[in-house]
Every structure is written in C-alpha cells, then in structure tokens.
C-alpha cells in the first residue's frame, strides 16, 4: 500500500542543543534504514520549511502508523497521511 505523508516538524525553541542534535541524528539514521529497506521510497524536503513530503510503501495502515510513531521526531511533528490508489490514466507501473 502506498501512502503520501506530509510531516511538519515543530521543535521547541528552548530544546537543549545536545538533545536536539541527538534526536535529529537518530531521526536521520532511522529514516535512512527505512529508505534502504524500501519502506520509504520517496522523500522530498519542502523548500523553506522544516517539512517533507514522502511516499511510504507498506503492507498496511497499521505498519505505517508503527513506522511513523517510532520516528525520534514524532512527538514534535504534525503528520497528514493520504492513502494512494492507482490512477486509471497511468501509463506505467514505475513510481517517479
């Protein structure tokens, strides 16, 4: 199942710099593991924002929830999930 996910990060301004650096490093490592595993095939930064647009390829909404809630930045995110379906005018099966 494919899901379009928008993630907006809202870190507290008074967050300890060491905690921030550790959290961001853990987030990067975790997200890269998911990308290498094929669960997170598309990740784009939204220019000018601490936000991204992603596509997840998972077996279920429950799996997506588990992956998202395990993100180290999850407590500081607003997340919007949209399930995706194949469009009838699509020419190819390749995700671009």
Q: Is the pLDDT of residue 90 over 90?
A: no
The CATH number that domain 2-83 falls under is 3.30.70.1060
List Cβ neighbours of 4 (8 Å cut-off, separation of 6 or more): 53, 54, 55, 81, 82, 83, 84
Q: Is the pLDDT of residue 12 over 70?
A: yes
Instruction: Report the chain's C-alpha Rg in angstroms.
Output: 15
Least confident span in 33-37, 80-84, 89-93: 89-93
Give the residue extent of every domain in the chain. 2-83
- Identify which of 7, 31, 9 has the alpha carbon closest to the alpha carbon of residue 20: 9
Average pLDDT (9-34) is: 97
- Identify which of 10, 67, 79 has the alpha carbon closest to the alpha carbon of residue 40: 67
Average pLDDT value over all residues in the chain: 95
Instruction: Give the distance from CA 55 to its chain's centroid.
Output: 7
State the pLDDT confidence band at 60, using cuts at 50, 70 and 90. very high
């Amino acid at each position: 199942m494919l899901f379009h996910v928008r993630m907006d990060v809202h870190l507290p301004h008074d967050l300890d710099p060491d905690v921030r650096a550790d959290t961001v490093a853990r987030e990067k490592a975790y997200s890269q593991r998911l990308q290498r595993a094929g669960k997170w095939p598309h990740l784009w930064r939204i220019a000018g924002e601490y936000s991204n647009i992603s596509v997840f390829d998972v077996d279920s909404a429950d799996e997506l929830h588990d992956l998202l809630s395990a993100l180290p930045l999850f407590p500081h995110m607003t997340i919007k999930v949209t399930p995706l379906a194949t469009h009838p005018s699509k020419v190819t099966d390749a995700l671009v």
